[in-house]
Chain A
Amino acid sequence: MTAATLAGFIGSALVGLGLYGLITDPQPIRKILGFNLIGSGVFLLFGIVARKGAAAGFAADPVPQAMVITGIVVAFSASALAIALVLRLYEVAGPVSLRSEHTSNKAEK
């Protein structure tokens, strides 16, 4: 088993784990963690794709690696925005989870 194959398993498992957290965790910040887990799993898949593309004297295909770097920065920005939203929400409304939002439709009755 090569490191790449192993990384493929880790990546897939991370996606699964993150997805589970995203689905079941009621707190927004835990959902953000879940999203980041899935994200890193996806990046790992890019990583093994890069590794399998080793050629021309490079240990890994540089194009997917560059994409991962871009992706990490984007994921960070997303987390920052999400965190800012969560904190602001707590500030304005007190503790709120995404579950309790179903009342919002009829809030202005």
Chain B
Amino acid sequence: MNAAPIASASTAGGSLLWLAIILPVVGILASLLSGGRHAERIALLLMPTGFGIAIAIAIFLWRSGQPLVYVIGGFNPPLGIALRADGFSAVMLVTTALIVAAAGFYARAIFATPPGITEARAPLTFWILLQAIWASLNLVFLGGDLFNLYVAIELLTFAAVPLVCLDSRAETISAALRYLLFALCGSVFYLLGVALLYGAYGTLDIVLLSDRVSSEPVVWVAAGLMTAGLLAKTALFPLHLWLPPAHANAPAACSAVLSALVVKGSFFLIVRLWFGVLPNVPHEAVSFILAALGSAAILFGSVLALQQERLKLLIAYSTVAQIGYLFLMFPLVQGPNLWVAEAWSGGIMQTLSHAFAKAAMFLAAGLIAESLGHDRIRDLRGIGAVMPMTLFAFGLGGLSLMGLPPSGGFLAKWLLLKASIEAGRPIWGAVMLSGGLLAAGYLYRVLAPALSSDILHLKAPPRRSREAVALALALTAIALGFAPKAFFDFLQIGRVAVAGGSS
């Protein structure tokens, strides 16, 4: 790869990049300051605005066909910090805005400040932390500097952890603690790598680094540490210890955001690291390890999902499995080969469709748990008859997870499968297919009894508008299956070709 795009000049539309980050930051500060019901209002007000900004970024990107850049403070990298948006960033920004907004609207029922009180604990913290997740994810997707990104993942952790234990039960607090400690391990590993890279090359700017790095010991160690640290935050098997308890016990709106988005943040950085910072460092063996761990995650997560007796735990283990899929793209995005674009698109499509599908499923599971007072799978018989819309949302999400058409999950699987065959590495395709079978298995365990004609009594019927939110997310996952070719061209904007590996 020669002539990396000029990194050090703000482009048209670049201002949108800092706006996308500053807007929720202002929301956080304003929410804490004004407190009470205002936090909810501020959050809900900013969400459409933020979505508009994300869309605007996508439009600018689409028009120019080149990554957007904004140099903060006018100090060019390496001294200063740049923000950059490529195709992957842009779709993640839009996805984040949508899912955060959906979780917000869904959560209004649970996290409304009760009447008669000016402020309550859980609502205030929820609305502030939701905006914080949004802000930090936007920073993760846009940051162009490795240390800036360190701050971003720390922000993300700080926002995500308290969300796990908003209900103050011992098990959620314990889950949150475990999550925090392990995530901190991850960040400190990442930071270690950052220190080494700075020591070797004197810059942390992604584009500048990509020109300077070569395959040498310090890079190997730094990359290994940073990747491992990010894997810990992504909860890739066998580093998933914190995920099932945290995601399964958090309030549904939080689980949705955590499972759909937060783990994707650190995954995004792994992609940035290997394809943005180190494209010139050959990494076939690394890709193999990542994909092998991903395969193990698929197998393990799916089998354990099959074993669970609670719906939310099942979904959480399904996240463990689905995270594995994300890593199957690594060995396929190598060298200047034809299938690389396909695998890249497939990997991103998997990220997006899992985000929407999983958010929908968690929200649906939350409604079920609220309406029944429990989420034991064996007692869900007949839920389809009393909560058809919720179950439909759950089922559509499941469809995408299984990779059945028409859905984003199917398209992702198709692209990755085809790329794996063309790349002569059908093993990864086979893993994907067997993962789909297992997914069908664990979803069958839920859907088959749910669709039975047993009579079930609800404690309280779910609110239609909240069901609609879950359904809308699930339908988005389905709609991704109809993505036109132009969408995949968009995803390629700013993709840097990776060296080596022309098999």
Contact = CB atoms under 8 A, between A and B. Distances in A.
**A and B touching (Cβ–Cβ under 8 A):** yes
Interface of A: 15, 22, 28, 31-32, 35, 38-39, 42, 45-46, 48-49, 52-53, 63-64, 67, 70-71, 74, 77-78, 81-82, 85-86, 88-89, 92-93, 96, 98, 101, 104-109
A78 B196 contact: no
A68 to B, nearest CB: 9
| Top 6 closest pairs, chain A to chain B, by CB | A93-B170, A49-B199, A85-B177, A45-B195, A92-B170, A89-B173
A44 to B, nearest CB: 9
A42 B180 contact: no
B72 interface: no
A63 B199 contact: no
B198 A49 contact: yes
Interface in B167-185: 168-171, 173-178, 180-181, 184-185
A70 B187 CA distance: 14
Interface of B: 79, 147, 150-151, 154, 157-158, 161-162, 165, 168-171, 173-178, 180-181, 184-185, 188, 191-192, 195-196, 198-199, 202, 244-245, 248-249, 308-310, 313, 374, 376
Given A39-B188, A101-B245, A89 B147 contact: no
B331 to A, nearest CB: 29
Contacts of B308: 105
B202 A53 contact: yes
A78 B165 CA distance: 16
Contacts of A85: 161, 165, 173, 176-177, 180
A107 B171 contact: yes
Interface SS, A side: helix
Contacts of A107: 171
A77 B158 contact: yes
Contacts of A98: 174, 177-178, 181
A105 to B, nearest CB: 6
B158 A63 contact: no
A78 B173 contact: no
B195 A49 contact: yes
Contacts of A35: 181, 184-185, 188
A66 to B, nearest CB: 9
Contact of A31 (B181, B191, B245, B309): B181
A87 B309 CA distance: 31
A89 B170 contact: yes
A105 B181 CA distance: 19
